[in-house]
Each structure stands twice: as C-alpha cells, then as structure tokens.
Chains A and B, each alone.
Chain A
C-alpha cells in the first residue's frame, strides 16, 4: 500500500519542502560559521620549506621514536576497533539492562548511558594498560599500574555525570519535541561546554601553585608578565602543575577565568628561551580566544552529531525511549570517529596560529626549534610520522612546527631575525 494517503493526512508531504529549505539554510549557516572559525592570523598561502628530520634529530632517536609511536598507534587502532565492536554489541543487547532500573524512562536512559561508558572503559582497559606498559618501558611516564587503573576508574565519575546530564536534557527534549529534539539540544550542550570552559581553569589548577610563588621561578614569572603584556593579555595568571610528569603546558578559560598552566617538569627540564616560547604560545591561544573558538567548533560538530543520533535512534522509537540510548551512544561515537580528522584539523589550525604568534612575540625561531627538538626527545615523539597519523594528530607534527619557524624566519628576513 502506498504511503501517499498517510502523508496527505498528517501533512508530512506538505512539510517536506519546508524541511528541506530549513536544512539547506542550516547547512549554509554551518558553512559560514565554519569559514569564520577557520580564519587565522597565519599568513595565507604560507609555504613551509622542507626540513630534513635527520638534520635536527639523531638517526637513533628517529628510529626509537618511530618504533615507540608505531606501537602506540597500533594499540590505539585496536582499541578503537574494540570500542566500536563493543558499542555495536551494546547497541544490540544493551536494552536488556533496562531490567536493572526502577527509575522512569529518563533515569533508565541515564543508567544505560553510564553503563555504556563503563563497559567501554572495561573493554579499553587492556589497551590502555598495554600503552602504559610501553610508555613505562621507554621511561616516558612513571605512574604505577594500580594508580593508573584506580585513577581511571574514579575518573569515570565525571563522564558519568556528564552523560547523565546530557541524556537528561536530550531525552527530556525528545519527549517534548519528538524527532526535532536535536535542534534544541545542541544549543544546550554548547552552553554547557561554554560553562565548563569557563570554570575548567579552577579545576585544572587544583594541584597547582602560582608561578610567582614557585621556587626558583622569579625570572620565568617576569618573562611571563612581559610576554602576556606583549600579546595583549596582561595579568593572565600562570600556574605550575606539580603532579603531571610529562613536560607540557596549556591555556584554559576565557575572560576573568583565563589562565596558563605549565608543568613543573617543563620548567625544570627546559632552558629559559624554550620556556619563553612555550609561554608565548599559550598566551597566543588566549590572545586569539582559542577556547571560545574550540567551543564554536564543538557547536558545529554537535549539531550534526545530535542530528545523526536522532536519525539512528528512530528505529528504537527515538531518544525519548531508554532502549534507544545504546544506539545513541554508538551513533555518537561513530560520528566522532568519522569526523576526527576534521576536528583534528581545526585544533592543528589553532595550534599553528599559537606557534606563529609565539614567533612574532619572541622573535626567537632558534629557541622555538630547540624547544621542539627537546620536547620531542623528552616525550619520545616521532617528529615526522606517517601521513595518516598526522591527520589524526591534534597538534602539527614536530617537523611541521620546525618548518613553520623557518618560514617565519624567511618572511622576517633570514636566520636569527629580530
């Protein structure tokens, strides 16, 4: 029997062109927003001169780092395959766990969401431990197995609360708006992401102390103040993370909560010029409001992701029903994996802009090159990985970053410009 009479009755046939127009307008808006977010202060058409890794790194290091990262990449790949397989099984059978709930539909959906994350954590654990074993074997990290597992287990509480809250909103909207819930849900999630970005600096600096009060860092603190002023983000607090052992740094927050966090291992293991480049890079993130840009990209990702989830859960009666939650998890993760290269490209773009800003501020390309070389050596990072791994990286490869310093040098008028 044809669907025509039904369509005529419920009006869906008449609405179809309207829906198509609305979706097309949405797609256009999406593209315009993406274009705006893609803007960068890195000169367009900048050609990166080829740099030979062997000129910067020893052959022994290149071999060791390639082997080291190859194992981690294979481990991550296998972990991803298992992740998808587990979620497929969970999507098919997860609804059986509904009997473990005495809550209503939304509460039961929250339970299924949390259990999905828990099952994924369990399935990923062997790969996680294999990676840890490999990193410990290469003396890159020093955390113990038990602590790592316990931290991971207890660390699930954050994602559990987040997915519960997300499902509370999404399922409530799905009960109210039916199949169009995703249009309304995406702004909710973006607002939540914005809020988290705003308060995250407070959470990230729990185990930290201000750089001003950090023993032996008076010079660095003075450098930080000068660099922050130069980049137009004066009085940005800088904190020293005393816990994490791999040298790194980060910028978080926006407006009154913006701050930079530098790991103690970076301050103690790198010279002044290198630390200045790191600080200038992080201030560069804040100067160009990369936290907000990241939320913007997240919004552009979440909107179609929520649409995909809405489509995928239709056969289970929509996200208003708890039995659709395992399918929603699978759809969301699959969408995330499929779009990972795109998201990685956006973060690489932001990192490149921060690198460029650091070069403009410090005018020290040699210091930047030394930083990238020493950072690679300390973390055993492959400076020039295969293209497929570069595409998934959230930072440019070390060689691309070194090439950027050469490009900046060329534009600024030769080596040691400034």
Chain B
C-alpha cells in the first residue's frame, strides 16, 4: 500500500547559475513567511491533534491548511537545498517541480494520535541525519546542497544522483511533517526505493549491491551484534592494511599502464566484498554471521564487482582530490547507517525482524560507501552514484536465506 504522502519530482535538473549563486539570499522572504505561517500552524496542529483524538479523523479544512503548509515547507527546502530551481510560490499549492501530494483526510488510530510525539522519536532521529544533522553540512541534504552548489555553478545542472538523494530526504521530511501534524497515522517510510518514482536502474554499474536478505533477525545475535562483529573488525583491519598497500601498487600500475593487474583487482575486490559483509552484519542490514574470506555469493548482502576496466591516467593521478566530494557524501551516508543500526537494533529485538525501510536505507548507504571505496582503491574508474537506484522490492515476501544464486538473485538498487 503506497504512502498517503508522496513526493512528486518533475525537476529537469537544469539550474540557473545566478539563482544558484544567490540561493540563500533569495530564500529569505520565504523564511519570513514560513515563520509567520508557522506560528499559526503551531496552534492549528494542537487543535488538530485534539479534534482527531476525539473524532478519529482530521477535519477537511484543517487537513488542507496543514497540508499546504507542509507542502510549502518542502518547496522552500527544495529550493534552498538546490533540489529544485524554480522560485517557489508562497501559497503551498501544487505545481512545483518538487511537490508533495497528500491523500484526503482518513480515519486515524487514536492511540497513535495520543502518543504521536513519543512515537515520532525514531523518525526524528532519521530526519536529523537526512535533513538537519548537528550542523547543516553534516546531513545528507546539506552535503548534497553544498556539493550541488559548486556543480550547478560550473555545469548549470544538478547531478541526478545528488538531486535524488536530496529528494529522498525531502520525501521523508514531508511524511514526517504529515505525521507530526496529525494529517495521517502512517509512519514515515525511510525506504529510498519507495520514496521516488522513476529511479534509474543503472544495471551497468561495475559496483552493485545484491540484497537477498529476508528481513528476519535473530534476537540473540542482534542483542550481541556489536560484540559478535569484533573478531571480524580485527580481521578487517588487518586485511585493510594490506589492501591499502595493494592500492598504492594499483595506483602506480594504473598510472603507467591504465590497468590494475588482474590479481590485484581480484584481491581488492575480495576485500571490498568482505567489508560489505561485515558492514552489513554489524549494522543489521543482514542477519547471518559472515565468513572471513569475502567469498563471492556467500552472503545475503553481496557486493557485485565488475571486471577490471581501463583507467584514465589523469583521473588516477588526481584520485585523492576527485574523491573528496564523494567522501563527504559517504560520511553523510555513514551517519545514516549508524542511525539505521541503532533504530534497527531496537526494532529487531522487539519484532525479530528488520523494518524494510530501514534495511533498504542501510543498503543504500553501504552500496554508496562501497562504490566510494572501490573508486578510491582503483577497483573501478567509475564515479560513485550518490542517489538511490531502482530495484524490485526484494523482501516484501520474506523468504529464508539461501546462499545467493547468481542466476536468480535480484539487484537491489538501494
């Protein structure tokens, strides 16, 4: 069942340089209007909560008023963070390139209305990582905005991956606002695959993530997960030291021959696969205890590493500099992964199952981090793609884990 709050993206990625350069100044009138309107919204939200508590649903007029404010809030956010380019209107009406559709007012569970603020705490943790952060630059949205600002100034275009990553954050923001405003009792969905329509498939990416996880989590291993991962973390550190030395050799090889030797490529690919297994285990994106060899096809969250490719010498020489932006985004995704693990830990302990949205958000973070690592370690010359990618919903019908079969495994784009 689709979420009653849906982000609609019609943005064409084009950006006007002058508007981008002055973006924060141009947004000032919207900040003022947002604040003034927000004061009224504060009291209306309280009234809406009380009414919904007694009547079981939000009155239509109130629902529309609050929906328009939430939509306007998302418009302004999208404009400010360069997820859209057009100057937004002040009414919160439909028609903006990053828009939000709200389903009509529907009956709500009174218990969830009464405990709404408490129930919203996990979602507030996620939104802190996606949108707010400790400081704006630390959040996913803030990071893509800063990097997108430079990119838009140079290319007059926002990279698709960054735009989609930001849109994913805004989708969650819209759903959280609707939940806090008591417009719906549907909990915000952190699943990046469900956040946006028309995600690119990117089947030709040399570094992809295969997710065959069935969402089931053993409560016992979940409880001790951090400690159970310690032997793997020790082994990963030792392997990582050798991998770093191997990457230095690969740098020279790629610089002089444009190719990384096949043996070296396979060694580094094995390291990345093992790192993926351990990360997925530690952060509860998968359930079984991984092996220590990084063997391909041995784990339900698997990194598919393509064959070696020719590198561009300039790109190899400046790899450290070129990697800086993606390392920043990887840092933001890393914070998301930690939040997913902490929330997932509680969820898995209670339900014996990882929520699909959290799992897929974590899988997205892992995929991106591994693409960055593969780029930094010269396993691939391809620049990491920062947005979510399309994939079949892998685990809507839980199935027991079997060793992945390359012929049947799906590619989860998260």
Q: List A residues at the B interface (Cβ < 8 Å).
A: 97, 99-104, 107-108, 110-111, 114-115, 118-119, 153-154, 156-157, 160-161, 164-165
Contact = CB atoms under 8 A, between A and B. Distances in A.
Nearest to A102: B288
Interface stretch (B20-28, B96-104, B219-227, B325-333): B219-227
A114 B232 CA distance: 13
Q: 6 shortest A-B CB distances, which residue pairs?
A: A102-B288, A103-B291, A101-B289, A164-B231, A111-B289, A118-B224
Contact of B289 (A100, A118, A156): A100
B172 interface: no
B292 A160 contact: no
B220 A115 contact: yes
Contact of B230 (A104, A153, A161): A161
Nearest to B277: A102
A310 to B, nearest CB: 23
B287 A100 contact: yes
Interface in B186-239: 218, 220-221, 223-224, 227-228, 230-231, 234
Interface residues of B, number: 23
A102 B300 CA distance: 9
Contacts of A107: 289-292
Interface string B286-305: 01111111000011100000
28 contacts: A97-B218, A99-B288, A100-B218, A100-B221, A100-B289, A101-B288, A102-B277, A102-B289, A102-B300, A104-B292, A107-B289, A107-B291, A107-B292, A110-B231, A110-B289, A111-B289, A114-B227, A114-B228, A114-B231, A115-B220, A118-B220, A153-B227, A156-B224, A157-B230, A160-B227, A160-B230, A161-B230, A161-B231
A161 B287 contact: no
Contacts of A118: 220, 223-224, 227-228
Max chain A CB contacts within 10 Å: which of B220, B224, B290, B300?
Answer: B224
Given A97-B218, A99-B288, 11 more contacts: A97-B221, A100-B218, A102-B290, A102-B291, A102-B401, A102-B403, A110-B231, A111-B221, A115-B221, A160-B227, A161-B231
Contacts of A156: 224, 227
Contact of A157 (B223, B227, B287, B291): B227
At the interface, is chain A mostly helix, strand, loop or mixed? helix
Contacts of A157: 227, 230
Given A100-B221, A103-B292, A111 B298 contact: no
Interface string B124-142: 0000000000000000000
B211 to A, nearest CB: 14
Nearest to A104: B291
A406 to B, nearest CB: 49
Nearest to A111: B289
B231 A102 contact: no
Contact of A161 (B234, B277, B292, B299): B234
Interface of B: 218, 220-221, 223-224, 227-228, 230-231, 234, 277, 287-293, 298-300, 401, 403
A118 B219 CA distance: 12
Contacts of A153: 227
Given A102-B300, A161-B234, A108 B289 contact: yes
Contacts of B221: 97, 100, 111, 115
A231 B368 CA distance: 62
A119 B219 CA distance: 12
A156 B228 CA distance: 10
Contacts of B299: 102
Contacts of A102: 277, 288-291, 298-300, 401, 403
B291 to A, nearest CB: 4
A104 B295 CA distance: 11
Contacts of B298: 102
Contacts of B290: 102-103, 107
Contacts of B218: 97, 100
Contacts of B300: 102
A291 B253 CA distance: 52
A118 B289 CA distance: 15
A30 to B, nearest CB: 32
A348 to B, nearest CB: 34
A154 B292 CA distance: 23
Nearest to A103: B291
A102 to B, nearest CB: 4
B231 A119 contact: no
Max chain B CB contacts within 10 Å: which of A97, A100, A111, A119?
Answer: A100
